[in-house]
Structure 1
Amino acid sequence: MPFLITCIVMIFFLIIGLVRSNGEKAKVVVVCSSLILFIPSCTAVMFTVDQFRYGRFEYASSLEMPEDGYIELPPTAQNITLYRNGAGHWAKFSIEASALMEWIEQMRALRPGLNTDVDDDEWVSNAIPQIQAEMGKLYAEEFANRFPETGWQYKPSMKRYYVSRSARGGGFRVWHTSKSGTAFLNASYW
């Protein structure tokens, strides 16, 4: 988007500069100036636009969120805290376990070939205590890495789910605590 905005603005000023300039030398200066100023202009536009589209946002429900084609959250999500950046988004929200599972199954159904071997880590609850403890440590590390600088804390009672949306590995992970109804989602864009 910043590139497109910069192109439109630069073409506008280039046309005005060429129409108003007298002589070949002035036209060459206008064209060269436009080329030299393109990258700094694009950077300035990108910085300005990013102030509005990236960062931390809060919504009472997913109905209040703007639709942009990238952010995927359950339609029944409430009390949403959303962090956006150019590579993905992180969200914390409230949702009942049954509504979350219904949404996860709908998302998996969009790309069934990529979501065929999903076990949602059910095997961990049936594993021996030593394996459960090791997996708990790994899950806590993964959670901390996926939600840096948010202050959100991993709890051993969380269930972890994965939805693959791209054959290249893009998708999202969801951690959910049934008791509190709190869910955490980490999505990567592809």
Structure 2
Amino acid sequence: MTSSMAAIVLFIPSCTGVMLVADSIRFGRFHYDSFDSIPDFRSQRYLPNAASNIEMHKHANGYRARYEISASEFKPYLDGLWMQHGEHSAVERGGFMDEGQTLSPEIFNHTFDGLNWTCPANAIVYYSPSEGDGGGATYYFDADADLMFQRTGFW
């Protein structure tokens, strides 16, 4: 009886301990040289294959990333996403209010709070197709610097 009670009482703390260890490996800040070096498919979601020098902050429902990519690599990637998944998007291409506009420092600072990244002066806002549950990506691309900032959500 005593050992059964001890097992019941210790079950939740042991689960919490396992979760904390697993989360410290799965979530947080990471650096990857390329798309192919990212070890999990969820973190590759909505990220262009041509991305390099990737800084990524992973959390349970997505990630925020900063990486290098050229306009000649990004534009076909985004067009391909829309061609492949656009008919299933909850929002039509061009239907997001700020799409195609210059990124404001206020939005950038709010979106990437705590990452110590500097708002690019010439970043334009782009969107991936939007999943019905709110999943998708917002891209903030500075074509002059070949620099992308990305916020991705998934469930």
TM-score interval, smaller chain: 0.7 to 0.9
**Aligned residues of 2:43 and 2:58 also touching (Cα < 8 A):** no
> Once superposed, which parts of structure 1, at least 4 consecutive aligned residues long, lie more than 6 Å away?
none
Identity %: 26
- Find the counterpart in structure 2 of residue 143 from structure 1: 108
CA drift at 1:75: 0.8
1:121 aligned residue (76, 79, 99) = 99
Residue 15 of structure 2 corresponds to 42
The TM-score, its normalising length taken from structure 1, stands at: 0.71
The match for 2:33 is 60
Supply the AA of the counterpart residue of 2:76. E
Shift in Å, 1:143: 1.4
**1:65-76 pair list within 5 angstroms:** 65-72=38-45, 73-76=47-50
Aligned counterpart for 2:134 among listed residues 169, 172, 184? 169
What's the CA shift string for 1:158-178, capped at 9, x where partnerless? Answer: 111111342122211001111
- Count of residue correspondences: 150
CA distance in 1, matches of 2:154, 2:11: 27
Unaligned runs of 5+ in 1: 1-27, 125-134
Aligned to 2:143: 178
Check if 1:103 corresponds to 2:81: no
After superposition, the CA RMSD in angstroms is: 2.0
What secondary structure does 2:12 align onto?
helix
Deviation at 1:102, TM superposition (A): 1.6
CA contact 2:91–2:129 (8 Å) conserved in 1: no
Once the two structures are TM-superposed, the CA of residue 150 in structure 1 deviates from its matched residue by: 1.2
If asked which structure has higher relative contact order (CA below 8 Å, sep 6+), I would say 2
Q: What is the alpha-carbon distance in structure 2 between the residues aligned to residue 179 and residue 98 of structure 1?
A: 12
* Structure (1/2) with the larger helix percentage: 1
Alpha-carbon shift at residue 55 of structure 1 (Å): 1.1
Which of 95, 106, 122 is residue 157 of structure 1 equivalent to?
122
Could you tell me how far apart the structure 2 residues matched to 1:77 and 1:145 are?
23
